[in-house]
Structure formats: C-alpha cells, structure tokens
Chains A and B, each alone.
Chain A
C-alpha cells in the first residue's frame, strides 16, 4: 500500500493500515506537526491535505488514503528552503501562542488559498471555522491569510 507523502513515495506497513492517518503520520513517519486535539473531527488540530483537500486525519483511516497525495506542514517548505508564504505570514503576524493548533490552521489556510487565491472575509471564516484555537489567535490568522492573498494579487 503506497501514498505520495510530501512528494515522496512511501509504503504503509501492514500494522499501520488499520489505524488513523494521524498516528500513521506522527508515530510511523515521525511527522508530528499534525496534532491530536479531540480525536473526533471537531478541533482541526490534526488537519492535513489529501488530494488537495484539507481533512481531519484523526478520523481518516490510513487505508483510505491508498494511492493519495498527502501533504503535511513539514512538506510546505523544501528541506532547508525558505518558508512557504503562509508559514512566513504566520511568523510575520506572530500568530502562534501555544502553537498546538497552528499546523492544522496553516494547512487549512494553504488549502483555502490554493483553491481561492483571493478569498473574501466570509470565505475565510467558512474555511477556517473547523480549526479551533483556545488561545484565541483568530484575529491574527485572518490577518495572515489576507496578507498572503494581498501579495498574490
């Protein structure tokens, strides 16, 4: 069973196929950016992009992504390369507080901006509604997303 993970072909070994994509990424591949928050699709801390769509990896089974293209926050910037514009905007706006939700927030924002380079405020709210942040960084997340859209314009 194979996946294209951050642009590299990877094989999912048997014992990991039955479990969730989240733990496959974290515990087998060591990609720990996606986090366990609620474990039931409510908080968005585990968000990764599968075939272009931001999904909740905690409620996605590993075997369901067979053959898919999976992107995690670790794959956004090339090795040692510059940060992805969304990551850079997150730093410029000093978005993270505790930071635990932020990989998920960034992946939702990346998926949104790929789909829609100039989202309206309402479209941003709709796309980000499922990514909760208890630290309350929403105002900065909005600003960071709009700043990336602005640069693309």
Chain B
C-alpha cells in the first residue's frame, strides 16, 4: 500500500490513506502550568447580565461537586437566591486556571471567588451595569461566605443533579449526531518508552466491515517514536470489528527493559542502613536490633473510573475545537497547539463533566487522537477509549514495596525507619521522558511518592526515605498519590507496635500525637464507634475484628476511621461497618464533604481488597474490567461520617479519608485473624483457616 495515496474512493465508503510523515514536534513534553488563582482572576469567573449572574466554573467538575460549592460561595457573597446564579463549565477562553488536582478547589478558589463577588455586589449597588469591576480584596472575616451566611454551610440541590438523574448530555461522549464519526487509534500495547509501529494489517478485511469509513496511517503517538493506526467508522460498534479484522502485527524497537517489576522494586534488596536516596524525615537512626520490622507490598493499580476517557474534535477554518472530560483543559489546549503547530488561541478546549478521574485524566491522549482523525477525515470525530485501552495505555498507581521498622522503650516508640521503593507519580513516566526524569530524580525525587511518608507520631528518631525505578508501565497520580499506600504502611506498623506492648491502639496513638486536630478526630471516631479495643471475637464460623487508623492529608485535613471486618473460614474478608471522623476546617457544603468521605471509604475497601492491575513480563496483561474489580454494593457496608467543624480556613476533602480507611480495615483483619496483611490487595487464601 502506498502511504502517500490520499483519499481514494473504494467500495464501502471513502478510504483515506494518509501519510502524515514522522512526528515532528519537539521532544520536550508540554508541562502543565499551575498558577495559583488570585482575586483578580476571579472577576472573569462571575458576570452579571440582564439581571442574572453567570458563574463560569474555574474548576473541572468530576463528582466532587465543586460547582455546587462555588455556587454556594457566589450566592452567599452576592446576597442572591439559589436560582439567580447559572453555572457553566469553562473552556480555554477563560484566563488559565490550574489543573483540578490535589483536593484544593475550595481551599484556593473559594476566597478569590468570594472577593470578586463582593466587589461585583458593591459595583451593582453603586449602579454600574457594564464594564470590568476591579476587585478590592477585603479581610476574609468581612466576607459573607466565610461568615457562613446564606447558602454556605447547608446543602442545596446539586448543580447538574437534575440533568444527571434525567440522563441529559453532560459528558464528552454524550455529544452525538448524524455528522459524528467514530474513531480509534490502535497502538502497540506497550509503554511509550518503547518505539512501536504497525507493520502489517489486513486492510481489505477492515474495509469489508459495515460502517467502515477510513484508515488513517502513521498517527503519531506520545513522544514521537510510537506510531498508531487510526480507524474511522460511521457506527461506534464497527470500531472493534474493524480493529479485530485488521489483525495488526506490531514492530517493537526493543523488549521492556524490566521484565520482573516486583523484583525491580523489592524493598529488601534496596534497604540501606543510611536510608534511601530521597529523605522525607531524616533523623539519624541506628542499625541494630528492631522491636518490629514489617514489609508491605502494593500492586500496580488502575483508577477504575466508570467513564473511559473520551474526546470530540472538530476543525473549522484552521481552528480546532475539542470537547473533553479532562482534569486540565488548558494543558490539553497547550499540548494540542504544540502537536499541530498552532497558536494556542486557535485551539479551544471545552471542559465537560468528568465521569470519574481520581487523578487519572490529566494527560492529553484521546484528545490528540480525535484531533488527528478529525483533521484527516474533515468531519467531527469522537474517540472514546475501550476498557482495554484504559488498562494498557493510561497511567496507574505505581506498585510500591515498603519496609517499616521500629524500636520501643518504656511504652513509647523511640525509633522509626520507613523505606520505600516505587515508581514515579507526579513526574509520571506517561508524560515525562527518561532523560528528563533523570533530572527530576536528582532535583526533586517525586513528591507524589513521598506524600504521607512523614508520619504524625512523635518519635525520638524518625527516618523515612524512598527511591524510584522507572518501570516499563505508565505510573502516575491516583487518588491521594502516595498517601494511601504510605499511610496504610504506617498505620499497620503503629498497630503492630501497640500489639507488641499490649496497648490499646487508640490510646497508643494518642500517646504519640501532638496535633490537636488529629487527636480530636481520633477521639471523635472512638466515641462514635463505641471503641473498646480491637474486639476480636472468634465464633465458630466467622472471625471478627475491629481496627482503627488516622492520619493527616497534605498537612491540613484530618481523618480517623474505625472498621469492623468479618473473615470467613476460606479467608474471604467482608468489611461490615465503617465509622469516620473528618476535619477539613470550615465547611461550605457538609453533605458533599460527607459524600467525599463515603467515596474514600469505598476506595479504602477497594484498596485493601481489590485494587490491582495484572502485569507480566514488563507489561499490562489485563484487557477487561472484570480483571480489575472494584467494590460492588454488597462489599461496601454501612458507614457513619462525623464532621468536626472548625473555623480554620477550608482545606480539602476529596482524598483525606484514604489516609485512614485502608489502615483501619487492615488492622481489623489483623485483629480478626491474628495475621498481619502485608500484600495489597490482600490474598484471601492467606487468611483461610
């Protein structure tokens, strides 16, 4: 087949066989910009027109209901009723806002928005009805929203809630229409570190599939040395049939450089008497006998969101419009502009409601694929990844291997050493090439891997350190980054220290804590759960146990959890009850803070029991959702969430409980079975009688 043939007619439709040539863009990746918002920026978020207010949401809406929370702030500050403010999602015509990551939307955006609304309110009162209002910041204590006035502190009907329950179009893939074509780009199922391209395929069989429109050759993948084969169809169902009919043979430049990932990050091979390369806590801790030494291993784990990423692209007169459910529309815009050699102003990205992201929808992938296919076909093209593409091509929580050791003296922890081997999170291998990562390794390690390693307990000598291995799979941000696994390792070890001393684990923790807010959530959850110790209760069939854990997320949000579990003779573990106490400072919408806690508790069940993505020979080997289970309704028990409300500035709630839920569940399993879970997800047969 001549790759330079352009658009020739064939039976079954128009066949575009297009040579785009080798990828020509720069080898330096486009990096997200993360400016903090100011009150001045916020004036672009709120407008007054014809007696009504329009709030352009400066965040991405993905289920955290920031649209509702910021509308509450706006209504409160404008002194207007709930139905006076209309919320719309932003596109990239808004002045740049940072990615929606890290549970910081209320913490960083509520006050600038309130300031802008306060100034707008005054301007309207002074009789102005057009032009730009200058924001004159006032002390927070003078802001209605921060005094908890109006709709702040209550839980009005969710923004977009009515649309969701009626199935109205909200998500990128919901854009449909007779002129829409459906696209997919097939890539070799290997890491983008390995150059790969299709070398042989059965075009005739593909064209015979009803609904076939075109093949698009040489679609450049990430980083220039991966090449994909694009397909365009009239019906979405045809895509999988075409992909199968093509029976593509792939050419790979090399095999993955690491075949056994578990061995590559084996902590006991890496353990160092002086700690690993990147120190998080760095007191001198002496070698010698330890009173406890525990190893924990975490699998590579997918996000498991229900919505596979999707994007719709359309070209018109040299401008590109893309609709997508991403965590950072501006980053997508910048990358598209870079890829297609365009001025950023000629690319517009409209952010759509996201059907679950959890850290996994930051990089630009489906968007660039849709844009390529749309350019070549001259039509609107929608690309929605298959589940198999989600598993093999997206980035996931890196696997990690931990050893935590301690010494005790006179009822107290005196020495603590936590060492961890993992792979990159913030400097994700899916976006950052190896040569650049060599630099970030030296300069910064990876703050995502470090997150949560700094434990809150007062110990005479504490050391925590980690090192990184670039793995032949894509690792990256996942709800809470390192905080889930790190806090689980810490909370299991603290629990073991309490067992060693025969101490009550709540009392033992309190003995070592200074932070009053952390102590308060721990005391609150002990009270609400009626804590009376581990309560192991062995009856004839089921082993039952109770566990507790607590922690701080990003130094400003606090959570404590108590869990009850029941373990069947064959080792099947059921979490039967969960209690949680949470403190994220001042709360704008208590019901939605609760909802985030509930979600994190469900994630805690998943983290302990399920989260894992099968790998073998240096690659992902799962193709189906059924191979990466997430908790179903019967696995998620009754939960009680208690909010400790405070006047402190609002922090964040989207990830906090992931620091405590998994530890509480693991500690309950230990109480029920006498065995310390050390592999996550747990292997039930290890707990069989």
On A, residues with C-beta under 8 Å from B are 15-16, 18-20, 23, 26-27, 30-40, 42-43, 45, 72-74, 76-77, 83, 87, 90-91, 94, 96-103, 106, 125, 128-142
CB <8 Å contact, A32 and B167? yes
Report chain B residues within 8 Å CB of A134.
303-306, 356, 358, 630
CA of A33 to CA of B236 in the docked complex: distance in angstroms?
16
CA of A72 to CA of B161 in the docked complex: distance in angstroms?
17
With both beta carbons as reference points, the residue of chain A lying nearest to B182 in the complex is identified as: A27
Interface string of B216-251 (1 = CB under 8 A from A): 000000000000000000111110000000000000
With both beta carbons as reference points, the residue of chain A lying nearest to B165 in the complex is identified as: A87
What are 29 contact pairs spanning A and B, CB under 8 A?
A15-B211, A16-B235, A23-B235, A23-B236, A26-B176, A32-B171, A32-B173, A35-B307, A38-B625, A39-B387, A40-B624, A40-B625, A43-B306, A72-B167, A83-B166, A90-B165, A91-B158, A91-B165, A96-B63, A97-B63, A97-B65, A99-B63, A99-B353, A99-B355, A102-B165, A103-B164, A131-B633, A134-B356, A136-B636
A contact face: mostly helix, strand, loop, or mixed: loop
Q: Shortest beta-carbon distance, B585 to chain A, in Å?
A: 21
Interface string of B472-500 (1 = CB under 8 A from A): 00000000000000000000000000000
Q: How large is the interface on B (under 10, 10 to 19, 20 to 34, 35 or more residues)?
A: 35 or more
Contacting B386 at CB < 8 Å: which of A39, A101, A106, A142? A39
Report chain A residues within 8 Å CB of B598.
136-137, 139-140
Contacting B307 at CB < 8 Å: which of A33, A34, A100, A106? A100
CB <8 Å contact, B633 and A98? no
Q: Shortest beta-carbon distance, B105 to chain A, in Å?
A: 14
Residue of A30, A87, A98 contacting most chain B CB atoms (<10 Å): A98
Asked, given contacts A27-B236, A129-B632, A134-B630, whether A42 binds B624 with beta carbons under 8 Å apart, the answer is: yes
B window 378-403: CB within 8 A of A: 384, 386-387
Looking at B413-421, B523-531, B600-608, the stretch in contact with chain A turns out to be B600-608
CA of A32 to CA of B306 in the docked complex: distance in angstroms?
15
Q: For the complex, is B170 an interface residue (Cβ under 8 Å from A)?
A: yes
Total number of residue pairs linking A and B with CB closer than 8 Å: 178
Q: For the complex, is B639 an interface residue (Cβ under 8 Å from A)?
A: yes
Report chain A residues within 8 Å CB of B157.
91, 94
Q: Given A27-B236, A96-B63, 16 more contacts at CB 8 Å? A: A15-B211, A19-B237, A31-B167, A32-B176, A35-B355, A40-B626, A74-B166, A87-B166, A90-B161, A97-B599, A98-B306, A100-B356, A125-B633, A134-B303, A135-B356, A139-B636
CB <8 Å contact, A132 and B632? yes
Interface string of B610-626 (1 = CB under 8 A from A): 00000000000000111
With both beta carbons as reference points, the residue of chain A lying nearest to B386 in the complex is identified as: A39
Asked, given contacts A37-B308, A137-B598, whether A27 binds B64 with beta carbons under 8 Å apart, the answer is: no
Contacting B165 at CB < 8 Å: which of A26, A31, A106, A131? A106
Interface string of B175-187 (1 = CB under 8 A from A): 0110010100000
CB <8 Å contact, B166 and A33? yes
CA of A77 to CA of B638 in the docked complex: distance in angstroms?
31
Q: For the complex, is B268 an interface residue (Cβ under 8 Å from A)?
A: no
Q: Shortest beta-carbon distance, B614 to chain A, in Å?
A: 16
Q: For the complex, is B631 an interface residue (Cβ under 8 Å from A)?
A: yes
